[in-house]
Amino acid sequence: MSIMEENYMEERNIVVAVDESEESMYALSWCLRNLLSQNRKPTTTLILLYIKPPLDVTGYLFAGDVIATMEKHNSDLTNSVMSRAEAIYKNFEPTVKVEKKIGSGDAKNAICLAVEKLGADILVMGCHDYGFFKRALLGSVSDYCAKHVKCPLVVVKRPRTAQMRDDM
């Protein structure tokens, strides 16, 4: 099959991995501007994927109210991330078909599994511009996804001028 004979995809699922970071919100905004331009058919679905931090309390003796507080915190975080994302795509013209998916667990594994399950055509994610030590300790979610997802991956870095001081 020649490359050019391939049909233009009529239906596309674009998955944007969102989290609490400014970087992920910037990636969402970039995606709207660059991948969902005005003549896109309404068959493109933007899927916002948020992976909650795992709430693993096995082996710990937490009082019931502590666990409830942790769960509440997790749920507040999810709402906060999705509200911020909503504020970004609501301003975008034309209206985009949006779905929200919430997962939990280790972000990099959970994103790769979700991308496969959702039949994503493109995965978009932000990139924390960590220094050497932070990267060595934490690993990089985008590195992992680049190795493991099957679809095209867009790693969006925020331009230096738009970066906040907290990513030092």
Report if residue 24 touches a second copy, rule: CB under 8 A: no
Retrieve residue 130's tokens. Answer: 């960590």
3-state secondary structure of 139: coil
* CA dist., res. 86 & res. 28, Å (int): 10
Q: Are 145 and 112 in contact (CB under 8 A)?
A: yes
Q: According to CB under 8 A, which residues from 110 to 129 bind a second copy? A: 122, 127
Binding-site size, a second copy (CB under 8 A): 38
Report if residue 136 touches a second copy, rule: CB under 8 A: no
Q: Which helix (H) or strand (E) holds 100?
A: strand 97-104
* Identified binder of a second copy from the candidate list 72, 97, 101, 150, rule CB under 8 A: 150
Q: Which helix (H) or strand (E) holds 111?
A: helix 107-117
Q: Are 111 and 49 in contact (CB under 8 A)?
A: yes
**Please, is 159 exposed, middle or buried when counting C-beta atoms within 10 Å of its C-beta (0-12, 13-18, 19+)?**
exposed
Report if residue 142 touches a second copy, rule: CB under 8 A: yes
Nearer to a second copy, 4 or 63 (CB): 4
Region near a second copy per CB under 8 A, out of 34-42, 72-80, 94-102, 104-112: 34-42
* Identified binder of a second copy from the candidate list 39, 58, 83, 95, rule CB under 8 A: 39
* CA dist., res. 111 & res. 95, Å (int): 25
Report if residue 157 touches a second copy, rule: CB under 8 A: yes
Min CB(53)–a second copy separation in Å: 23
Report if residue 162 touches a second copy, rule: CB under 8 A: yes
Report if residue 47 touches a second copy, rule: CB under 8 A: no
Residue 3, number of CB atoms within 10 A of its CB:
5
Q: Residue numbers of the site for a second copy (CB under 8 A)?
A: 1, 3-4, 6, 8-9, 22, 25-26, 29-30, 33-35, 37-40, 87-88, 91, 122, 127, 142-143, 146, 149-157, 159-160, 162
